[in-house]
Structure 1
Amino acid sequence: MGLSTLAFLRGVASWKKETKLKREAALPSCGGTYPGGPITCTQRNAKVCILENVYWKQFGLIYFVWVASLALQITKNYYTTCSTLYWVVNLLQIPVCFGVSLFEAFGLYKGWRKISSNNDSTSKLRAWQLIILCIFGIVAGTVGALLGLGGGFIMGPLFLELGVPPEVSTATSTFIMVFSSSIAVVQYYLLKRFPVPYGVCLTVVATFAAFVGQHAVRKVIAVLGRASLIIFTLAFIILISTISLGGIGISNMIKKIEHHENMGFESLCNYNA
């Protein structure tokens, strides 16, 4: 609820700023104004090769974490659950993720790594800001793993607070979710625990819905010239997800308590990973 409110307030602020920019801007916005100013037709229509638009070093770091985490997740299944080697292999994921996060945080702190999309190429993040970012990242991963919610619900509003435009924020959080979810898909498939027809059906439906949603939002933004609509959409989705997930969870918990059913809390060592 707090994240939803935070995103909504950020949307209101962006809406007011867009209104001011639309009144003051002499150049056509071509369907969007951002905190750094209006987007001109020349800027919006400029096209480059997709290979030139990829930050290969950063992509390589993410891919390294993906491969290392997947390898460790698969390797631990070859050891007895809760054995010494099992926990050693399992906990090796921490230094891998911590090392890459520390490297990126050091670059943001020193200034040779920039958040270029917030239109402030000279800014440096302070130590306390980096610590908060890492904490939110851990919370996002934990919530995503325990509740099945995408980490974008947490990272999206956080990116907005950093001054990242809503389109970039949504795309970034969604892109990162691909890596976390794909690790689980590959792992369960190799362990023969993944229902392929069910997964294919969900993939087709989700892909179709993503293209339709993206096309619809782009059209609406082009007509109204307000990218803040993405922020309001994010706030609404977070609100609905919180209410539905929380309501269903509380309802199921009450029923289990009334019928003295197992709440699902068992020893981690009773099951294989």
Structure 2
Amino acid sequence: MKSHGFLKWVCLPITIFTILSQSQAKQIQPISNPLKINQFINQISKWRGTQLSTATRTTLAGLLCFVAAAISSAGGIGGGGIFLPILNIVVGLDLKTASSFSAFMVAGGSVANVIYNLFGGKTLIDYDIALLSEPSMLLGVSVGVICNSVFPEWLITVLFAFFLAWSTFKTCKAGIFYWKAESEKACRRVIVESGNGWVGEEKESMKEPLLGGERETSRKTPWTKLGFLLMIWLAFFALHVLRGDGDGDHHQSITGLKPCGVGYWIISAFQIPVAIVFTVCILYWKQSRVAGDGFCNQQEEKRKEQLNGSKSSCSSSLRFPTMALMAGVLGGGFGIGGGMLISPLLLQVGIPPEVTAATCSFMVLFSSSMSAVQYLLLGIKHIDAALIFTLICFVASLVGLVIVQTAIVRYGRASLIVFSVAIVMALSTILMTSFGAVDVWQSYMSGKYMGFSLPC
């Protein structure tokens, strides 16, 4: 019943807007009456072009991206939802160029995050979740890109606003929950110390986060899992190269396939069995290694309470491919990284904040690097400027990680990670929704077609 009610509220504005767009499409000429909103938008565009020089706009965008990357890195998310509006509104880049820049910037921040997590201390990356999620996420990104070309812009904006608003609310709720739990644990420590009880273990644990401290950490690098993840990345990348990316004159393929031809769709559909085969093999491999460090041994036993009392078994691990597929579809459809979408989902199933941040940044590295390499093959414009912004995000991510981790160790508040995710999602909701609404309004006023389109 709840799902029906949610669908009703989602479909209602879509239906109303469809009726309005159909009535607008009947008018041959665009609306000529100048409205205040059009004047306001035009004044902003004119002010940006006349009052700010190119160097000033670029410097301002660099500073804003630095702050955005520093905040995003703490939560292990890419920050593409903030980079895109900054590059478009401040610098004045078109959407395609801004998207290519954003892919490099997210990849740079993810590299910094992964390096910090691998060599900066204890390893918090959950490679099991990354292994199970990566094939489905890469498949979902491909499906989402197709949906992005088919769905009208107003529908994408509406869905994006609804989903990000819901995710922001859930993330804030999770942050408040963790904050209260940390406060209660801190109070218990004060009571134990004031009562002259056993305080040795409590004092030592004050150096670690109040939540997520039970996770077993290891300095050993799991090269087998990293090799499997690289194999997954190479498999999907090979399919993209064979199929080709881009459209029209920009479509490139080493096999010479035409966009949206029979071979094009056969190779595109082949990603589905590839993702299924990899996921099944990973599950089988994990189950066969129960005696070692398999997926269903000590880690799952320690995670029983974190999963809100849900049954801890290998079958429950299927939730991660499902969440990754949904996050990939939404990320590809909205043109942002999947980290901002899968992070709230991992928090909802009870994964500790620090583990969520480290794992998400590790997963985003694979998806963002694939997008960046594809843009390179397609011939990205202004590659030198893109690399400068990438370096800015790399440095900003390291700075943000050091600051947040220092605060966590000092105050014992791992919930700071959750709140950083909520801040980025809230800003992305405001910026991306407002930015998309302005574009939709301009298209509506100019009488452009606002229905569904063919994928090619």
TM over 0.5: yes
Q: Which residue of 2 aligns with 1:10?
A: 174
Q: Structure 1 residues 192, 178: CA separation in 2 closer, same or farther (over 3 Å shift)?
A: same
Distance 1:21 1:108, change over 3 A: farther
Deviation digits for residues 143-194 of structure 1, max 9, x if unmatched? 2222222212221122222332211101111111111111121122123245
Correspondences of 1:218-237 after superposition (within 5 Å):
218-237=405-424
Tell me: CA distance 1:173–1:179, structure 2 relative to 1, closer, same or farther (3 Å).
same
CA distance in 2, matches of 1:266, 1:60: 40
Q: Report if the CA contact (8 A) 2:212-2:354 is conserved.
A: no
Query: Which among 95, 99, 113 is matched to residue 295 of structure 2?
Result: 113
Change (3 A) 1:115 1:247: farther
After superposition, residues 205-220 of structure 1 pair within 5 angstroms as 205-220=392-407
**Alpha-carbon distance change, 57 to 214 in structure 1, aligned in 2, over 3 angstroms:** same
Alignment of 1:1-273 (within 5 A): 1-25=165-189, 26=199, 27-28=202-203, 29-35=206-212, 48=219, 52=220, 54-76=221-243, 77=253, 78-105=256-283, 112-114=294-296, 120=302, 124-125=312-313, 127=315, 129-193=316-380, 195-261=382-448, 266-269=453-456
Q: Which amino acid aligns with 2:437?
A: I
Displacement of 1:203: 1.0
- Which is further off, 189-198 or 217-226? 189-198
Partners of 2:336 and 2:184 lie apart in 1 by 35
SS in 2 for 1:240: helix
Q: Specify whether residues 108 and 82 from structure 1 end up closer, same or farther in structure 2 by C-alpha distance, changes over 3 A only.
A: same
Matches of 2:427 and 2:300, distance apart in 1: 28
Amino acid at match of 2:426: L
- Report how far residue 15 of structure 1 moved: 1.2
Q: Is contact 2:185-2:210 (8 Å) kept?
A: yes
For structure 2, the 5+ residue unaligned runs are 1-164, 190-198, 244-252, 305-310
Shift of 1:135: 3.0
* AA at the equivalent of 1:55: P
1:121/1:165 Cα in 2 relative to 1: closer, same or farther (>3 Å)?
closer
Of 161-170 and 103-112, more deviation after overlay is shown by 103-112
Contact 2:286 2:295 in 1 (8 A): yes
SS in 2 for 1:164: coil
Q: 1:151 to 1:114 in 2, by over 3 A?
A: farther
- The percentage of aligned residue pairs carrying the same residue is 26
Check 1:157–1:131 CA distance in 2 against 1; reply closer, same or farther (3 A cut): same
Offset of 1:246 from its aligned partner?
1.0
Cα distance in 2, alignment partners of residues 13 and 117 from structure 1: 23
Could you tell me how far apart the structure 2 residues matched to 1:200 and 1:232 are? 29
Cα distance between partner residues in 2 of 1:206 and 1:98: 34
Using the alignment, how far apart are the partners of 2:299 and 2:359 within structure 1?
11
How far apart in 1 are the matches of 2:404 and 2:226?
27
2:331, 2:341 within 8 Å by CA — same for their partners in 1? no
- TM (norm. structure 1) is 0.82
Counterpart-to-counterpart distance in 1, 2:394 and 2:179:
29
Pairwise CA distance, 1:105: 4.7
TM-score (norm 2): 0.51
Name which of structure 1's ranges 55-64 and 226-235 shifts more when overlaid on structure 2: 55-64
How many Å apart are 1:260 and its aligned residue? 1.6
Any idea what the Cα deviations from partners look like across 1:40-69, whole Å, max 9, x if unmatched? xxx9xx984xxx1x2233222221111011
Note the aligned Cα RMSD (angstroms): 2.9
CA displacement at 1:238 relative to structure 2: 0.9
Q: Which has the higher contact order (CA 8 A, sep 6+)?
A: 2
**Shift of residue 265, structure 1, vs aligned partner:** 5.8
User: Is contact 2:172–2:418 with CA below 8 Å preserved after alignment?
Assistant: yes
The answer on whether the counterparts of 1:166 and 1:231 sit within 8 Å (CA) in structure 2 is yes
Amino acid at match of 1:198: A
Distance change >3 Å, CA 65–CA 190, structure 1 → 2: same
Tell me, in whole angstroms, the C-alpha distance in 2 between the residues paired with 1:266 and 1:121. 45
Which deviates further from its counterpart, 104-113 or 88-97?
Answer: 104-113
- Give the 3 Å change call, closer, same or farther, for CA 109–257 of structure 1 in structure 2: farther
Q: Deviation of residue 199 (structure 1)?
A: 2.3
| In structure 2, distance between residues paired with 1:263 and 1:205 | 37
Take 1:62 and 1:73, find their aligned partners in 2: how far apart are those partners? Answer: 17
Structure 1's unaligned 5+ residue stretches are none
